[in-house]
Every structure is written in C-alpha cells, then in structure tokens.
C-alpha cells in the first residue's frame, strides 16, 4: 500500500451481528477509513447479506490471510491516527483483555497499544440481557458474567475508550475527529 497523504482511521470489524449494520453506516459517513476484517467477520457479513465486495467498492479492506497479520505493520508506518473496533465480539474483547493477538483485529489492538495510537472499542456485551438482530430474526441474548467482566476490564486499559451504544460510539468518534480538526460527512 502506498503511504496515505494524511493518517487515516483503521476500523476493525469482528464477527458480530449485534449493531453490525449501524457500524457500517457510521463507517460510510467517515472520511479516510480502512476496514480490517477478522475471518469470522467475513462469514457473518455474508450471513447478513452484506458481501465483502460491497465494502471494497468504498473502502480499502484488509483480510486475515497471514499468520503474522502483515497489514498491522501499517500502524508502525504512521498510516493511522485512530483504531476503532466495532462491533467487538465477546471473543475479541476477551482476547484484548488477556493480551492475546492472534487475529487481525486483536493484533491491531495490541500493536496500536504499543504505538500509543488511541483505540475506541464498541463492545457487544454490555447488559445482562440484550435484544439483537440474528440474520433471520430478532433474538434475546444473555451475556455471561465473564463477558460483562471483560468489557468492564477493557475500560481500564490505557489509550482505550470503550463505548456501549451506537450513540456513545458516534460521540467518541466525533470527539476524536474534532481533536484532529476533521468531522463526519
Ligand atoms: C450470525 C452470527 C452472528 C454473531 N453475532 C455475534 C455477536 O453479536 N456477538 C458475539 O460476541 N459473537 C457473535 N457471533 C460469534 C462470533 O462470530 C464468534 O465468536 C467468532 O469466533 C468471533 O471471532 P472474532 O472475534 O475474531 O471476529 C456471531 C456468529 C454468527 C454466525
């Protein structure tokens, strides 16, 4: 990839159906955003009728093809000013909390931390009971205590802002962009 003229947003998409469409809507309104998808995200996008090709028409999309998460190296080259992970599965949040970086998105989070690049994480598991959109119907899910605990623990990590709603995510992005003198379209 050629170096961008100005640093961009790296957006990590994980395999969550919860608020997936809402996050994609936010992405479409943002300037200069590249998308990094986990292997699960690719499958889940397809189950929700969103082909990866439709994202590629509008954004650079990086997939989880290598064991060492090669695209993460862009963080070290100054290509990105902010990492946003949303929606973040319970799996991704748990790995981030445990310091595990074995997927494209958990690796982005780990390397962003090591580069002191701020991360905004929109966690899926925020309430003991939540109504969510499965591909074919609405369902109620009950995040486990460990899932809620991991979301709570991630809030204490440096350079990390955990948001628990679409409105809070949008506000956090607006605040970050304002610091950088840019805004939503
Ligand atoms: C249709 C579908 C929807 C899913 N939605 C969620 C979700 O909302 N939250 C969640 O934590 N996991 C969800 N999962 C499970 C994750 O995709 C799975 O845990 C996966 O291993 C996560 O990998 P990742 O964190 O690397 O993306 C969903 C799976 C499927 C098939």
Residue 176 has pLDDT above 90, yes or no: yes
Residue 24 within a domain: yes
Residue 109 within a domain: yes
Range of lowest pLDDT (8-12, 13-17, 25-29, 123-127): 123-127
Is the CB of 47 within 6 Å of ligand 1?
Answer: yes
Task: Tell which one of 13, 91, 95, 98 to mutate to probe ligand 1, the residue whose CB is within 8 A of the most ligand atoms.
Answer: 91
Could you tell me the distance, in angstroms and rounded to a whole number, from the CA of residue 104 to the centre of ligand 1? 15
Residue 9 tokens read as 């947003």
- Minimum-distance ligand 1 atom for the alpha carbon of 95: 25
Residue 8 tokens read as 């961009």
In this predicted structure, what is the pLDDT of residue 1?
Answer: 59
In this predicted structure, what is the pLDDT of residue 146?
Answer: 97
Is the CB of 55 within 6 Å of ligand 1?
Answer: no
The residue with tokens 């159906």 is: 17
Q: CA-to-CA distance for 103 and 98, rounded, in angstroms?
A: 13
Residue 2 has pLDDT above 70, yes or no: no
Is the CB of 135 within 6 Å of ligand 1?
Answer: yes
Residue 5 has pLDDT above 80, yes or no: no
Residue 97 within a domain: yes
Mean pLDDT of the chain: 94
Mean pLDDT of 145-167: 97
Question: By C-alpha distance, which of 138, 46, 48, 143 is closest to 88?
Answer: 143
Could you tell me the distance, in angstroms and rounded to a whole number, from the CA of residue 43 to the centre of ligand 1? 9
Is the CB of 16 within 6 Å of ligand 1?
Answer: yes
Residue 1 within a domain: no
Residue 2 within a domain: no
- Minimum-distance ligand 1 atom for the alpha carbon of 147: 11
Non-local (6+) Cβ contacts of 21 within 8 A are 48, 50, 133
Residue 109 has pLDDT above 70, yes or no: yes
pLDDT tens for each residue of 56-84: 989 999 998 989 889 899 999 999 999 99
The residue contributing the CA closest to ligand 1 atom 28 is 16
What range defines the domain where residue 74 resides? 8-179
The residue contributing the CA closest to ligand 1 atom 7 is 16
Could you tell me the distance, in angstroms and rounded to a whole number, from the CA of residue 45 to the centre of ligand 1? 10
Is the CB of 89 within 6 Å of ligand 1?
Answer: yes
Residue 42 has pLDDT above 90, yes or no: yes
Residue 3 within a domain: no
Our count of domains for the chain comes to 1
Q: Are 27 and 59 in contact (CB under 8 A)?
A: yes
Residue 105 within a domain: yes
Q: What is the CATH number of the domain that holds 65?
A: 3.40.50.1950
Residue 23 within a domain: yes
In this predicted structure, what is the pLDDT of residue 181?
Answer: 83
Q: Are 35 and 61 in contact (CB under 8 A)?
A: yes
Residue 184 has pLDDT above 80, yes or no: no
């Amino acid at each position: 990839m050629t170096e961008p003229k100005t640093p961009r947003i790296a957006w990590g998409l994980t395999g969550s159906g919860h608020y997936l469409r809402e996050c994609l809507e936010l992405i479409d309104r943002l300037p200069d955003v590249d998308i990094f998808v986990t292997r699960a995200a690719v499958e889940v996008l397809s189950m929700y009728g969103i082909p990866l090709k439709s994202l590629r028409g509008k954004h650079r999309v990086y997939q989880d093809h290598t064991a060492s998460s090669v695209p993460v190296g862009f963080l070290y080259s100054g290509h990105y000013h902010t990492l946003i992970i949303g929606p973040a599965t319970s799996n991704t949040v748990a790995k981030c909390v445990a310091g595990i970086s074995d997927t494209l998105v958990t690796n982005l989070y780990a390397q962003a931390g090591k580069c002191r690049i701020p991360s905004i994480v929109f966690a899926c598991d925020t309430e003991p009971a939540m109504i969510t959109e499965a591909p074919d119907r609405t369902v109620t899910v009950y995040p486990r205590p460990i899932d809620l605990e991991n979301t709570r623990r991630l809030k204490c990590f440096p350079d990390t802002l955990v948001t628990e709603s679409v409105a809070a995510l949008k506000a956090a992005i607006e605040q970050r962009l304002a610091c950088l003198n840019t805004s939503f379209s």
